[in-house]
Amino acid sequence: MSARDNSKKVRTRFPPSPTGHLHLGGARTALFNWLFARHHKGTFILRIEDTDISRSRPEYVNSIIEGLKWLGLDWDEGPYFQSERLSIYREHIERLINEGKAYYCYCTKEELEEKRKAALAQGRKPRYDGTCRDKHLPKKPGAVVRFRSELVGETVLNDLIHGPIIFENRELDDWVIQRGDGIPTYNFVVVVDDAIMGITHIIRGDDHINNTPKQLQLYKALGYEPPKFAHVPMILGPDKAKLSKRHGASPILEYKEEGYLPQALVNFLARLGWSYGDQEIFSIEELIEKFDISHIGKSASIFNREKLLWLNAHYIKEEKDEGLARKLIPFLKKEGYQVPDIDYVKKVVSTLKTRAKTLSEMAKMADFYFLEEISYDMEAAKKFLVPDIKEAMEEFIKAIEKLSDFSQDILENLFRDIQKKYNLSTRKFAQAIRVSLTGRTVSPGLFEIMAILGRERVLPRLKRAIATIDHV
């Protein structure tokens, strides 16, 4: 087959295995490939690697696709499913067998285990010893197919991140490219697919480096020009151990459920291993413009939940009120609140967007806007709902009942007049009203809250607070 023309446009791919949900590491791999393709005005391909039939699940396929869509990582081709391409792989396997570049192996699992134990006992690396390599065995049920590796010389990977990596071929063995059940193996199908799909660049985790010499030899045997490889260092937890759930690394869609914004997670993932000077915050347009493999570091990245929260808080502040309100509504409903209308929620988010780090946190902060009856923080109630505030509160209620304009400015002027009349400190009077309306001592601006709640919610709460004074 003819080698691929390297003048073709950039083509990258993301090839998840549907044996689990999309996690941070996979999402970062997808993002880097997507950004590289978009930067070069190339093509980004989604390929579902589902040849592990026993562990692949449709629900994981759906979860991966939903996660990518939520992050905004759209694809130009696909999704392709490897399970639907088995005839293509088998054609390539037959060709390798016919050309003497692969062969059938009858060695049983028990025999291979004995060989492995013997090699370890002798201090040797456990590799297939080539028992069936030159027997020219015919096909038979249960036989595997092995690739005839080059076992002398070197295989060189010119990695775009790490530079040249040299592998001694004597460290390789004749690896299985098709299992006994007729299903081809990962290292085989990924090469065939990448070659046929014209992939020009493969950006993936550096845990794949040891797979690369096998794959490079296979490209050569099949007559395909290999793509360029860039192996990205791993993401580690704060303790420098492999990232796991105990570090707070959750499936991508769990971040959505926790109230993270997709643009915050994309920004966070981009900065795990890639940098552009000291800049921390990037719009998606800036990421596409500036992303380049040369700016990916050689060291592992450290997952930092606090940095993610900081970024999310930034993007919540930057979000327009209506968009934020629509995103918040599912979280309000999850809390069990009756949501009156989008306009009301817009007013609510305008008061909370500078305070919340996640939408879930914002929904909890917004409780007093939606509850029919709030609960008091008892320490706050004892401190501020006191007898010497009662008369001023009663006059405040009577004045509110007569107002024709329930706006912030009018409410604040009324508050100031009564505060002065009863010689109360601003803090003492304001906190009494704040506790009456929200149940706590910390909240958005008092008059802003009152205007949003409206007279029909404010009056019953103030009256209840007065009734509470004698019982606190």
Three-state secondary structure of 416-472: HHHHHHCCCCHHHHHHHHHHHHHCCCCCCCHHHHHHHHCHHHHHHHHHHHHHHHCCC
pLDDT at position 1, please?
Answer: 32
Q: Could you give the CA distance from residue 447 to residue 411 in angstroms, rounded to a whole number?
A: 6
Strand order in the sheet with 176-178: 102-105, 144-147, 176-178
Q: pLDDT (tens digit, 9 = 90+) per residue, 299-342?
A: 999 999 999 999 999 999 999 999 999 999 999 999 999 988 99
CA distance 472 to 470: 6
Contact (CB, 8 A) for 429 and 415: yes
- 455: closest CA among 400, 388, 373? 400
pLDDT at residue 249, as a whole number: 72
Which listed residue (117, 245, 317, 382) is catalytic? Answer: 245
Residues 6+ apart with CB under 8 A from 291: 32, 35, 36, 38, 39, 270, 274
| Model pLDDT, residue 6 | 47
C-alpha distances (whole Å) from 399 to each of 105, 427, 434 are 93, 20, 17
Helix H or strand E segment including 201: strand 201-205
Rounded to two decimals, what is the model's pTM? Answer: 0.92
Q: Which residue from 471, 433, 26 is spatially nearest to 235, judged by alpha carbons?
A: 26
Active site residue 240: no
**Cβ atoms of 146 and 136 closer than 8 Å:** no
Amino acid symbol at 47:
R
- Separation CA 243–CA 301 (nearest Å): 10
As a whole number of angstroms, the distance between CA 343 and CA 363 comes to 16
CA atoms in the 13 A half-sphere facing the CB of 118: 9
| Residue 73 near residue 31, CB atoms below 8 Å | yes
- What is the rounded CA–CA span in Å between residue 255 and residue 393? 44
What domains lie within the chain, and their CATH numbers? 86-232 (3.40.50.620), 319-360 (1.10.8.70), 378-469 (1.10.10.350)
> Residue 16 carries which DSSP code?
-
What tens digit of pLDDT does each residue of 228-265 get?
999 999 999 888 888 876 766 789 999 999 999 999 99
**pLDDT value of residue 7:** 58
In 21-162, DSSP assigns E strands to 43-48, 77-81, 102-105, 144-147, 154-159
**CA-to-CA distance for 442 and 168, rounded, in angstroms?**
66
Q: For the chain, count helices (H), then strands (E).
A: 20, 12
The amino acid that residue 339 corresponds to is V
| Rounded-to-integer distance, Cα 109 and Cα 131, Å | 13
What count of Cα atoms within 13 Å lies in the side-chain half-sphere of residue 338?
4
Q: Print pLDDT tens along the chain (472 aa).
A: 333 444 579 999 999 999 999 999 999 999 999 999 999 999 999 999 998 888 999 999 999 999 999 999 999 999 999 999 999 999 999 999 999 999 999 999 999 999 999 989 988 888 899 999 999 999 999 999 999 999 999 999 999 999 999 999 999 999 999 999 999 999 999 999 999 999 999 999 999 999 999 999 999 999 999 999 999 999 998 888 888 767 667 899 999 999 999 999 999 999 999 999 999 999 999 999 999 999 999 999 999 999 999 999 999 999 999 999 999 999 999 999 998 899 999 999 999 999 999 999 999 999 999 999 999 999 999 999 999 999 999 999 999 999 999 999 999 999 999 999 999 999 999 999 999 999 999 999 999 999 999 999 999 999 999 999 877 5
- Maximum Cα–Cα distance for the chain, whole Å? 106
Alpha helices by DSSP H, 274-407: 284-290, 305-318, 321-334, 342-352, 359-365, 367-370, 378-384, 390-402
- The strand ranges marked E within 43-185 are 43-48, 77-81, 102-105, 144-147, 154-159, 163-168, 176-178
For the beta carbon of residue 343, count every other beta carbon within 10 angstroms.
11
Over the Cα atoms of the chain, what is R_g? 32
Distances in whole angstroms, Cα of residue 265 to Cα of each of 25, 203, 359: 12, 19, 14
Q: Whole-angstrom Cα distance, residue 208 to residue 165? A: 13
> What does residue 189 show for φ and ψ, rounded to 5 degrees?
-65, -30
